[in-house]
Amino acid sequence: MNAVPGPDAPRAELTLRGLIIGIVITLLFTAANVFFGLKAGLTFATSIPAAVISMAILRAMKNATIQENNIVQTVASAAGTLSSIIFVLPGLIIVGWWTGFPFWVSFGICAAGGILGVMYTIPLRRALVTDSDLPYPEGVACAEVLKVGSGEVVEASDSAAVEGGSAGLKAVLVGSVVSALFYIVVQTKLFASDLAQYFRIGDRGAASGYDFSLSFALFAVGHLVGLWVGLAMLFGAIIGWGWAVPHFTLLHPAAGDPSDVAQAAWSHYVRFVGAGAIGVAAIWTLAKLVKPVVSGLSSAMAASRVRKAGKGSTLPRTEQDMPIGIVGLIVLICMLPIAYLLGHFSVVSGLASHTTLLVVGGVIFVLILSFLVSTVCGYMAGLIGSSNSPLSGIGILVVIIAALLLVAGVKSELPADSGKALVAFALFITSIVFAVAAIANNNLQDLKTGQLVDATPWRQQAALVIGVIAGAIVIPPVLGLLNKAYGFLGAPGVNPAHALPAPQAGLISALAQGVIQHNIDWSLIGIGAAVGVGIIILDGILAATTKSVRLPPLAVGLGIYLPTSTTLMIVAGAIVGWYFDKRAERQPKAEAIKQLGVLLASGLIVGESIIGVVVAAIVVFSGKASPLAVVGDSFEQPSVWIGSIAFVLVTYAMYRWIARMGRNS
């Protein structure tokens, strides 16, 4: 093993070969993420699988460094995250405004919005990464993987020995192999993908249920985010499925299977309650972040003045951001294509009489709201991880604000038949802000990884811009291909049996139409806002009266908004991880054992993520929904029991093995 050079020592980092490898990985991950998101309603973080692939490639080359590996995963993760634009952009197809995805317009939305997202995260880095205790689960996990893969040791402590030694590498590899194999067996349908049960409550039509996704990646996220975030999400899930779903199914009774009734209530009512709770929590988060964000901006400006004065050498390499003057210039340059896109869209949509107002107002809207959204998304990603951050909840809030402004500003002066054009414009401008949000949701996670592996921030920020451009090139043709092959559910003339669900795009489109056509139920948003205020007050009381017990309001909002198939397994992972750490504290080598637990969780995310990419590609190219299935639907009930028992036994065996290895390391 080699000792890590000093933090300011020169090393290979932003290299041509690293950028090329990152861009090649981007092609695969972005395409898979686009399809996966449209089909399943979620995307996966690409940082860790990109880091693993990068390490495998660069190990065969000379003079590879952990920082160069970090650049590769940075490029790939930025592009993979930009694929979250699918949560909004297909809405223009669903409402019947577009029939395809014009390349240059779609590219412009992704590239301009994505680069703006990178720029906005630069002044946030000090506030939300350097001077913050947010857990950044995926960023920390990715850094651990990079450290193990490089074999570099920072210091001769137990935890460092675990990171760089064979024990740490075994933990990552075993976690990766186990989660990958389990995911493959789930795809064969021999193991069920989840443990779910829905039921009626009483005889008046109420229904509810639960759904544990048998996903080691979600379980690992729970281990990494910690006990109180997990319990806050559980509290939110109890509000959502213990009260809200039964309440709304009772108010709106429907015949049919309890699962369909409960899911319909969650989709049509409870998600909006969750969006209201997230909105209030987001505003509260913004209020608390004003001081550190201003401090971060001041630090960035001070660092820029130091460099201009010729004293750049006094600033550590690991704190050298892209100069704030260049950041401001790039932000202004990004506004030029955004202004053009808004102007062009207003003209072709029949809103030409208000082009000036729409362009000027739209640019101001994007400029201000994007920065606010970037702050909230960065905080949420730091709290719960990029993969589980509710980007669609942010999209809901943005499209509501955009639609309300259009109603207040221009609708009264337009013909009665202009409603569809206004809906399209609301979706269009929301997609730009959403591109900013998607990148901000991921970039701070990458910058956290960089901080932990002694990367140079400005080099990583440059790599993020390159990743955004690469993703913006790939996304439009992939979206066009999927639109032609399957279509999106709810779009005119599409066969529902074969269409991709695109659930977030459908929901956000319905919201835009509801606001502009005055048929949205604001009481649901209001209920959620009231719940959010109550949670904020409760969290404040806990903070004032206890030392460690907290109830993060955003995490509670997530628990209401996200499906239980996501939240409950994260909760399980948080509880098991907490119990594992408590047991480890009784052992002589407590820190080493805890570190192995983190590395095991990192490996669990790696394995499932990589195999998820592969299976998504197989689905696309085979044209089959379940290309690996070896049994039919008749095996569903046995697969639930077999899969659940196997998940518990494998989890127990892994943690017991890790604890034993930590004691003997």
State how far the Cα of 336 lies from the Cα of 217, in Å rounded to an integer. 41
Q: Are residues 137 and 200 in the same domain?
A: no
469 and 513 assigned to the same domain: no
Q: Could you tell me the pLDDT band of residue 173, with boundaries at 50, 70 and 90? A: confident
Round to whole Å and give the CA distance between 379 and 132: 10
Q: How far apart are the C-alpha atoms of 144 and 452, rounded to whole Å?
A: 9
- If DSSP codes are grouped into helix, strand and coil, which group holds residue 200? strand
pLDDT, tens only, 517-567: 777 777 888 899 999 999 999 998 998 898 788 888 888 887 887 788 878
Residue 517 confidence (pLDDT):
77
pLDDT per position as a tens digit, 341-361: 999 988 888 888 888 888 999
| pLDDT of amino acid 268 | 83
Residue 67 and residue 454 in contact, taking contact as beta carbons nearer than 8 Å: yes
Q: Is 542 exposed, middle or buried (0-12, 13-18, 19+ CB in 10 A)?
A: middle
**Whether residues 100 and 215 fall in one domain:** no
Residue 625 has pLDDT above 80, yes or no: no
Computed over every residue of the chain, the mean pLDDT equals 81
Q: Which residue has the higher pLDDT, 379 or 231?
A: 231
- Considering the domain architecture, whether residues 264 and 352 belong to the same structural domain is answered as no
Whole-structure pTM over 0.85, yes or no?
Answer: no
3-state secondary structure of 407: helix
Q: Of 456, 486, 516, which residue is a domain's last?
A: 486
95 and 151 belong to one structural domain: yes
Considering the domain architecture, whether residues 133 and 219 belong to the same structural domain is answered as no
- Same domain for 258 and 292, yes or no, is no
Give the Cα separation of 406 and 409 in Å (integer): 5
Look at 533 and 4; give whichever has higher pLDDT.
533
Evaluate whether residue 4 is within a structural domain: no
Same domain, 148 and 189: no
Task: Please write the tens of the pLDDT for every residue from 64-107.
Answer: 778 888 888 888 777 667 888 888 899 899 888 888 899 999 99
Assess whether 522 and 395 both reside in one domain: no
Decide which of 392 and 535 is more confident.
Answer: 535
Asked if pLDDT for residue 181 goes beyond 90, the answer is yes
- 208 within a domain of the structure (yes/no): yes
Greatest CA span in the chain, whole angstroms? Answer: 77
Residue 451 lies in a domain: yes
Ranking 108-117, 390-399, 570-579, 655-664 by mean pLDDT, the lowest is 390-399
Please report whether residue 166 resides in a domain: no
- Condensed to tens digits (0 to 9), the pLDDT of residues 274-301 reads 878 877 887 787 677 666 656 655 665 5
**Residue 586 pLDDT class (50, 70, 90 cuts):** confident
Tell me if 128 is assigned to some domain: yes
Any domain includes 463: yes
Neighbours of 259 (CB within 10 A): 15
Collapsed DSSP state (helix, strand, coil) of residue 206? strand
Determine the pLDDT at residue 499: 76
pLDDT digits (tens, 9 = 90+) for 138-169: 788 788 778 766 655 444 344 444 444 567 76
Residues 218, 40 contacting (CB under 8 angstroms)? no
| Segments forming the whole domain that contains residue 613 | 173-268+505-664
| pLDDT reading at 449 higher than 60 | yes
Answer left, alpha or beta for residue 373, where phi above 0 means left and psi between -120 and 50 means alpha: alpha
End position of a domain, from candidates 443, 458, 486: 486
Claim to verify: residue 151 and residue 177 sit in the same structural domain = no
Number of domains in the chain: 2
At 42, list the tokens.
């979620």
Is residue 9 one of the residues assigned to a domain? Answer: no
441 in any annotated domain: yes
